[in-house]
């Protein structure tokens, strides 16, 4: 029996962790070779790209894709997790005097390339340990700001003390931190009450499979993306039968003159067969990962 290989866009509901989704997929699909490409907090919902079989080797090319979220921020209450699952650490009625212009400005200040302080309860590792593990023990971990790119923040609704906004950002951005920082800038505190990931690269949550449908083989087949489709955002080069054989032996293939340097290259045999991911070295493309 041929092992399934591909990427399944899953619409994660609020509640389960990203690891829970992977565990559900392993049981439903009958394989251990399952992974995801970007953690969603348990309270968050939305698009999670689940890699299966050989496609687990493609995770690094999907994790870094640009992402889009819709979030709801509650002003006037800051929590220790920066979301609704945490304990309040400060409260203020100052939100009652805020104007929509002030709120928009506080969010707009965060657009661009900036340093962002990760939440205390986050999966980022410090000294080899997830930060949330130390936070749950009540320990303080020294957090260092990390560079992030926030392409845009669009305010969708202001119904104080709630503010709904949409974020387009690079990988590694914490949307909880955006709500926290906006609340701090406004002097009233804030946390997220809702978070939904709606896009990863050019993949939309509208095309995603509900979590409970993972047990439906026909639905999984219909929703699955081939490895070639999953990395369609990469530069690509077509290879012939001789090239397929060479790549299978770990050998390089000739690079067309316009092949870019310093980026991963998808090596394709036809529109829907991904043979390998390579990198241009001189006038050759050397394979880095061979999928066959």
Segment 147-170 shows an average pLDDT of 98
| CB distance 84 to 71 below 8 Å | no
Q: Which residues contact 282 (CB under 8 A, 6 or more apart)?
A: 255
Helices (H) and strands (E) in the chain, counts: 8, 19
Q: How far apart are CA 33 and CA 4, in angstroms?
A: 9
**Does residue 161 have a cis peptide bond before it, meaning omega lies within 30 degrees of 0?**
yes
Query: What are 114's strand-pairing partners?
Result: 148
Over the chain, what is the mean pLDDT? Answer: 92
Instruction: Assess contact for 263 and 234: CB atoms under 8 A.
Output: yes
Give residue 143's pLDDT band: very low, low, confident or very high (50, 70, 90): confident
Q: What angle do CA 121, 148, 103 make, to 5 degrees?
A: 80
**pTM flag (> 0.85):** yes
**Residue 2: pLDDT over 80:** no
| 3 state DSSP class of 102 | helix
Is pLDDT above 80 for 126?
Answer: no
Q: What is the pLDDT of residues 6-60, one digit of tens each?
A: 999 999 999 999 999 999 999 999 999 999 988 899 999 999 999 999 999 999 9
Residues 6+ apart with CB under 8 A from 205: 9, 11, 46, 47, 196, 197, 198, 199
Q: Please, what's the b/e burial string for 102-117 (b: 16 or more CB within 10 A of its CB; e: otherwise)?
A: ebbebbeebbeeeebe
The domains found in the chain, sorted by start residue, are 6-65+202-230 (3.30.2350.10), 67-200 (3.30.2350.10), 235-290 (2.30.130.10)
**Catalytic sites, residue numbers:** 41
Which positions ≥6 away from 280 have C-beta within 8 Å?
Answer: 255, 259, 260, 261, 262, 265, 286
- The residue length of the chain stands at 292
What single-letter DSSP state applies at residue 228? H
| Lookup: tokens for 253 | 């293939």
């Amino acid at each position: 029996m041929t092992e399934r290989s591909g990427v399944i866009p899953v619409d994660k509901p609020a509640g389960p962790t990203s690891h829970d989704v992977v565990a559900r997929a392993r049981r439903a699909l009958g394989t251990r070779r399952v992974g995801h490409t970007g953690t969603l907090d348990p309270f968050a919902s939305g698009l999670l790209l689940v890699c299966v079989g050989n496609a687990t080797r493609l995770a690094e090319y999907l994790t870094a894709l640009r992402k889009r979220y819709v979030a709801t921020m509650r002003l006037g209450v800051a929590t220790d997790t920066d979301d609704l699952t945490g304990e309040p650490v400060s409260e203020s009625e100052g939100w009652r005097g805020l104007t929509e212009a002030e709120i928009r400005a506080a969010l707009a200040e965060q657009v661009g390339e900036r340093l962002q302080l990760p939440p205390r309860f986050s999966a980022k590792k410090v000294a080899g340990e997830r930060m949330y593990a130390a936070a749950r023990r009540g320990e303080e971990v020294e957090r260092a700001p990390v560079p992030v790119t926030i392409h845009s923040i669009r305010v969708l609704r202001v119904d104080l003390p709630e503010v709904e906004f949409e974020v387009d950002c690079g990988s590694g951005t914490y949307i909880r931190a955006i709500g926290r920082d906006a609340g701090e800038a406004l002097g009233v505190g804030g946390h997220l009450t809702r978070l939904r990931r709606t896009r990863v690269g050019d993949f939309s949550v509208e095309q995603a499979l509900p979590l409970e449908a993972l047990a439906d083989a026909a639905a999984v087949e219909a929703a699955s993306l081939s490895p070639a489709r999953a990395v369609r955002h990469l530069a690509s080069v077509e290879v012939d039968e001789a090239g397929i054989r060479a790549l299978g032996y770990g050998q390089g293939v000739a690079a067309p003159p316009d092949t870019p340097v310093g980026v991963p290259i998808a090596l394709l045999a036809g529109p829907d067969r991904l043979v390998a991911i390579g990198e241009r070295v001189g006038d050759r493309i050397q394979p880095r990962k061979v999928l066959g």
